[in-house]
Chain A
């Protein structure tokens, strides 16, 4: 056992000391930081979009005046004086002037005047509101009871609140989606990357011809086990560093986004209080969440501790399962170019589950196919990571975990039998037939 520990130590240190390890360890939190920076940048720009605009309404039709509803960044107020006066005043302020001709409903001709070009959100909001007001007006004129109409209106409002409620729920489903996809991608990549590191390590020992020196000191199985565990620990270290650094980045970014958001809200309330328009009271604009904060909050709806612990379990067990087979492949060839024929069937279940994750499991995480994929050891690591954020019954997790352990013990046993023969075969083109023969060799 002491010798296995020595091998683990070497395999681990050799890889952790490499520059590539440092770079890839810093890359992921770096990318996350960049992502937050982009979100923050979008948010900073959205300040401009969300800037408060005062729309002075010159309504000559008499249908629209006083019926516009304010929202978070548009405030409507009746224009004072004549059109010419209002136009003159417009030159001094950043406000907009909405000119509605008397026959606007019939003939259109609504104009919005300003020093700066109004953005799309402003014009579309006004268009929407005007359509609604015109419709209301038409309904009233058609003789429908205004009381009844008002009775309908609160309904519409309630609906809106429900929508925003489900919008929140939506965002946590989105978070589960995100967590599922992230988990699947991470496991898929990790199994391939670290699995092929094991394979390359074995091929390296073969081509360097150090293998025979080492197996004269330790048993081939000890060497294989040490290599797998050592590289597995490299992977684990990398993940833990990623998690620690990424959470650090996330927490700091979250605090900064939250801080940026706070003054925006107070500013808005102040504005609301000082504003003279009568509509302010019943408009009740919902304080908008900045997208960054929204993202950050939806992240918190996921139980990270739970998912992380299972991620580590599925990474380690999945890695052990595949790494053993990768080691067997490495032992059977003389160079990496010869690995193709063995690599394809080996990575097929991974690729299949990976594609199924996006095509199927994400949309129906509780289906029986999803269940079977998350129980079969070869596909379970990816499939289960997709399902986890949506909630998986404990018995299924327990079954899957037990299957994983049985699975990696089995592949390790099979792989070790091929490995012990393969590592000493130089310059022989190996086939599946050969591997089966090696498997059945006596010691």
Chain B
């Protein structure tokens, strides 16, 4: 769907993107991760042809990116807003027509979306009279009204209240199910785990990690487990077949976190079964958050 090859973008004094390449497959929900100022927005602007790269190429559906692709991309920038003094309905039509829709077609689709998102009564209201949530919904509608094949969302959930964030998330998933490819940038890692199939991590203008979310998380597994047991609190003397990381006690029982020590989880169970009533054992798969922080810190260390 989208193939980004060796993009370099230099602003005076600093390099926003150095040799970034990544592939977004059709039908994917792709997360573009990175700390603030890493170059995410620069990359997104290049995909939207708002700015051009100094070198490197972007291919859209196998074709070199050109003006005709604008109508197949829907973009919701991080810094987003609407004309405050303009009526919301008129404004939606205007934005849709700029994307190449006819007035009638825009009206028809807007009616559907406004009803779906329950903002139909606000059609004639000026934007400044709408609540923030309403504006955000309208913003989202404007992004996807022309039924783009690729939807690019820069920090889609920033500024949304939890209810609207959930609503928008579900709409994104629904659009994806209907065939749209989604590319979004975020630093909310929970939504990445929930939604994304693939990610790329950009840090200090470089791509430092990319791949499928599950693969990445699995590759960061380090034999850490959580175990809960009921009964009396156990004491470990150092001869147990694992390395104890920490232990906590609650009303229902006790929890320990441990790392395998060249053993397997079954060895641990065999060792503990006679001693306590085990209620839960689970491997700790690092969250994207941990992966993120670990990667960012590693590169930071390397730089220093």
A residues in contact (CB < 8 Å) with B: 3, 6-7, 10, 14, 204-205, 207-210, 212-218, 424, 426, 437, 442-443
Contacts and interface: CB of A to CB of B under 8 A. Distances in A.
B77 interface: yes
Given A209-B81, A426-B79, A442-B52, 11 more contacts: A3-B98, A10-B94, A14-B85, A204-B84, A208-B82, A213-B95, A213-B139, A216-B49, A216-B50, A424-B50, A437-B12
8 contacts: A6-B94, A208-B82, A209-B77, A210-B81, A210-B82, A213-B76, A213-B81, A216-B73
Contacts of B45: 212, 424
Interface string B267-294: 0000000000000000000000000000
A198 B19 CA distance: 39
B75 interface: yes
A218 B98 contact: yes
B80 interface: yes
Contacts of A214: 95, 98
Interface of B: 12, 45, 48-52, 54, 70, 73, 75-77, 79-86, 94-95, 97-99, 139, 142-143
Among A204, A209, A217, the most chain B Cβ lie within 10 Å of the Cβ of: A217
A212 B77 contact: yes
A258 B174 CA distance: 77
Contacts of A14: 83, 85-86
A127 B136 CA distance: 85
A6 B54 contact: no
A369 to B, nearest CB: 42
Nearest to A426: B79
Contacts of A208: 81-84
B77 A217 contact: no
A10 B90 CA distance: 10
A207 B139 CA distance: 16
A216 B70 CA distance: 7
B287 to A, nearest CB: 31
B80 A6 contact: no
Contacts of B48: 216
A212 B83 contact: no
A212 B85 contact: no
Contacts of B83: 14, 204-205, 208, 210
A215 B50 contact: yes
Contacts of B99: 217
B69 to A, nearest CB: 11
Contacts of A216: 48-50, 70, 73, 75, 77
B52 A443 contact: yes
Given A14-B85, A14-B86, A217-B98, A210 B80 contact: yes
A7 B95 CA distance: 10
A209 B94 contact: no
A426 B80 CA distance: 12
A424 B51 contact: yes
Contacts of B80: 209-210, 212-213
Contacts of B52: 442-443
A442 B53 CA distance: 9
A216 B75 CA distance: 7
A213 B12 contact: no
Contacts of A212: 45, 50, 75, 77, 79-80
A184 to B, nearest CB: 33
A256 B52 CA distance: 66
Nearest to A217: B98
Nearest to B50: A215
B81 A6 contact: no
A112 to B, nearest CB: 69
Given A6-B98, A426-B79, A217 B12 contact: no
B84 A213 contact: no
A430 B82 CA distance: 24
A408 to B, nearest CB: 25
Nearest to A421: B51
Closest CB pairs A-B (n = 9): A209-B81, A212-B77, A217-B98, A208-B81, A216-B75, A209-B79, A216-B48, A443-B52, A210-B81
Nearest to A201: B83
Contacts of A10: 94
A365 B85 CA distance: 46
A6 B142 CA distance: 16
Contacts of A424: 45, 50-51
A222 B136 CA distance: 26
B214 to A, nearest CB: 32
A179 to B, nearest CB: 37
A426 to B, nearest CB: 6
A426 B98 CA distance: 24
A6 B91 CA distance: 12
B85 to A, nearest CB: 7
Contacts of A7: 98
Contacts of A217: 70, 95, 98-99
Contact of B97 (A6, A437, A442): A6
